[in-house]
Amino acid sequence: MEAMMAEVFQFDKKPEAPPVRGGFVMTPTAQNILRSIDLAGATWCGITLIAAAPGIGKTDTLHHFRQGRPDAVMFTAVDGGGGPWGVACQLMQLLDMGAPNGRNLMAERQRIGEAIGCDGLLLVDEAQYLVRRNTRGADDWSAFDWLRAMSEEACFSIAFVGDLSLLEISDKRAGLWRRSGQCRRLVVRTIERGDVEAVAAQRGVSDAASVEALYQVSRREGGLGYVETITSHAARLAGGGRIEPKHVLAAIEYLNLHRIGGAHV
């Protein structure tokens, strides 16, 4: 890498705007996620669970799915907003149903289910936040039971999508874990090389050396977003021409992503 860095590039010292994203890329992992959601959506009261490492494109894939199925309801769980009450508040706000009646959450569950509709599909992003964590006692996983009951009452399907902490469901809610296996449960533990290759190719980078460097950075730093950022800087260095390995490596160094513990990428 040091030999390739002999050429000096001039960078604007002014703060730069965040790089513009190049749009959705159909990576192998995105295809895997879509297959699981498609199967759940095609199954009567189907439930799937997708637990994946951060930065692999879960949320982008959900938005892409909704472009083809705008009737699907998608909501993003938030930290501290778990439990049936928090979920009811979020869903009723999303569906323009006003505030829930805390005295009769069962009736509100039925109303929400009717709004989602028979044969509908609920996409829950950041589903790990459905859990109400308790530092002084047992965590509350009842929001999963509440949504499962809602789906059975109203006959719609659910996709729970979140980080790898969702794997705790196998112990905390064994029945739900088994049921999700019937609709192609998916676990992605790390950034896949094929995903990096797909994103890099879409941005005009395909040589082996550059892809390997991008793969190492994305795995270490935790996400395909780094591939986007690095290739954006590399494209600027290339000045509209072909992006070469020297541009990619210079962008990595400029972003201070080339060293870890004193070692080069």
Statement: residue 3 has pLDDT above 80:
no
CB 126 within 8 A of CB 162: yes
Mean pLDDT across the chain, nearest whole number?
90
Residue 215: strand pairing partners: none
How confident is the model at residue 264, as a pLDDT?
Answer: 52
pLDDT tens for residues 192-205? Answer: 999 999 999 999 99
HEC assignment per residue over the chain: CCCHHHCCCCCCCCCCCCCCCCCCCCCHHHHHHHHHHHHHHHCCCCEEEEEECCCCCHHHHHHHHHHHCCCCEEEECCCCCCHHHHHHHHHHHHCCCCCCCCCCHHHHHHHHHHHHCCCCEEEEECHHHHCECCCCCCCECHHHHHHHHHHHHHCCEEEEEECHHHHHHHHHCHHHHHHHHCCCCEEECCCCHHHHHHHHHHCCCCCHHHHHHHHHHHHHHCCCHHHHHHHHHHHHHHCCCCCCHHHHHHHHHHCCCCEECCEEC
- 173 or 18, higher pLDDT: 173
CB 247 within 8 A of CB 238: yes
Statement: residue 58 has pLDDT above 90:
yes
Q: Hey, what are 103's tokens?
A: 């005295």
How confident is the model at residue 16, as a pLDDT?
Answer: 33
Q: What CATH number does the domain located at 28-188 have? A: 3.40.50.300
How confident is the model at residue 135, as a pLDDT?
Answer: 86
pLDDT tens for residues 70-118? Answer: 999 999 999 988 999 999 999 999 999 999 998 899 999 999 999 999 9
How confident is the model at residue 102, as a pLDDT?
Answer: 84
Q: Where are the domains of the chain?
A: 4-12+192-264, 28-188
Nearest to 63 by CA among 76, 54, 79, 53: 76
CB 109 within 8 A of CB 83: no
CA distances (Å), origin 136, targets 86, 142, 172, 249? 20, 17, 17, 48
Average pLDDT over residues 48-63: 97
How confident is the model at residue 13, as a pLDDT?
Answer: 36
Distance CA 243, CA 44 (A): 48
Statement: residue 206 has pLDDT above 50:
yes
220, 225, 226, 231: CA torsion to nearest 10 = 150
Distance CA 59, CA 147 (A): 20
φ/ψ of 76, rounded to 5, equals -105, 115
Phi/psi region, residue 55 (left: phi>0; alpha: psi -120 to 50; beta: rest), is left
φ/ψ of 255, rounded to 5, equals -85, 5
Distance CA 153, CA 147 (A): 10
How confident is the model at residue 132, as a pLDDT?
Answer: 93
